[in-house]
Amino acid sequence: MQNTSKNNKKYLLLCHLIFVTKYRHNLFDHNMLKIYLIDYIKTLEKDFKIIEVEIDRNHIHFMIEYEPNISITQIIRHLKQLSTVELWKKYSIILKYQKLKKYEIFE
């Protein structure tokens, strides 16, 4: 990673974000869901750059590089809103099943 130069200023702002599922449910057990999510998240880059994404069973790690003119809360809002909507559109059956499985309805 290198410093970015802009208007006689150099900066390197990195942020490590962790998004956790509600009640730490293991919603990311399916490989196709993981692959899709990683590909989709890479398309969400707006005023920031996603350096690395790692998905575990119940949380997602992001390493993000961003510019000083954007706040971390804007990045979080952008990522959470768009990824949640898209996941529920495409994988609602899997997510509902995983959620109900936790309550022992389908076991």
Q: Tell me the pLDDT tens digit for each residue of 7-23.
A: 777 889 999 999 887 76
Q: Which two tokens stand for residue 33?
A: 């869901």
Output the tens digit of pLDDT for each of the chain's 107 residues: 777 766 777 889 999 999 887 767 677 766 777 777 778 777 878 788 888 888 888 888 889 999 888 899 998 988 888 877 877 787 777 667 666 555 554 44
Q: How far apart are CA 101 and CA 107, in angstroms?
A: 6
> Helix (H, G, I), strand (E, B), or coil: what is residue 64?
strand
The pLDDT, as a whole number, for residue 44 is 79
Q: Output the CA torsion sign for 97, 99, 101, 105.
A: negative
Q: How many Cβ atoms are within 10 Å of 2's Cβ, its own excluded?
A: 7
Backbone angles phi, psi at 44, to 5 degrees: -85, -5
pTM of the model: 0.70
The pLDDT, as a whole number, for residue 15 is 94
Residue with tokens 């196709």: 32
Query: What domains appear along the chain, each with residue ranges and CATH number?
Result: 4-102 (3.30.70.1290)
Element containing residue 55 per DSSP (H, E): strand 48-55
Q: How far apart are CA 17 and CA 15, in angstroms?
A: 6
